[in-house]
Amino acid sequence: MNETKLDSDLGFIHRFQPASNGSTRTLLVLHGTGGDESDLIPLAKILDKHAAILSPRGKTLESGMPRFFRRFAEGVFDIEDLKFRTNELADFVAKASKKYEFDPKSVTAVGYSNRANIAASMLLLRPEALSGAILFRAMLPLEPDKLPDLAGKRIFLSAGKYDPIVPPDNTRALVELLGKAGASITENWEPSSHSLSQAEVEKAKLWLRQSGGEK
C-alpha cells in the first residue's frame, strides 16, 4: 500500500493501491463521518481483492470530523456545498487516473449512508467519473437540473426496509431517477434498519464479480 499523502496536484489526502492479477477495476471507497482514507480499505479488499483502490479523505469538517459535504441536520443537506464537493471529487478521480494510470472508465464507487449519497450525487452530476456504484443505505441527495445519461452504468443498491434514517420512499425516489436516466440497477431490500450486514456485503461482492473487471 502506498503511504497516505497529500498530493498538491490531486488535492485530497488519499491512499491508492494498484490493481493486481490483471484486474481492470478501480474501487473508489468513501469513508463516513469521522473516518479517514484507511477505514474502508478492508471492505474494498473483501469486495474485490484484485481491484485497484482509491480512497480519499473528505475535506469538509463536522465538529472536527472529516466528511465529504456539509449538512444542516440529519438528512438535510447543504445542496450548494454538495454540488461543489461532488465536482471536486470527480475532478480528483480524473486526475488520479492519470497519475496512477488506471482506466477512468472502470471506476466503481463504494459508499454507505452519507458517502453513498455523494456517490449518487456523482452519478447524477458527473456521470463520466464512474462506471457504476455500490450504494448501501443511499437516499436521493439532490434533483439535478438536467437528467444525466446513465446508459451502461451498473448500480447495486441495498436498502433496509425498516431504516429510520433513510425512509424507503426516499430510496425508491433515487431508484426511479437513476432508472429514468438509463442506469441498470440491482435492488436489494433487507429486513433490517440502517446497519449494514455481512450478507449484504456478500451480495455486493457477487454482483461485482458478475459485472466483470475481475480476474
Q: Which residues are catalytic?
A: 113, 163, 194
Beta 71-73 vs 52-56: how paired, if at all? unpaired
Q: Where are the alpha helices (DSSP H) in the chain?
A: 41-47, 79-100, 114-125, 168-180, 198-210
- Tell me how far CA of residue 94 lies from CA of 90, 145, 161, in angstroms: 6, 23, 35
Helices 114-125 and 168-180 meet at what angle, rounded to 10? 20
Dist. CA 41–CA 31, nearest whole Å = 9
Q: Which residues contact 206 (CB under 8 A, 6 or more apart)?
A: none
Beta carbons of 99 and 10 less than 8 angstroms apart: yes
The cell 454507505 sits on which residue? Answer: 112
How far apart, in whole angstroms, are the C-alpha atoms of residue 66 and residue 36?
7
Angstrom CA distances, 179 to 124, 148, 184, 188, 202, stand at: 11, 11, 7, 15, 24
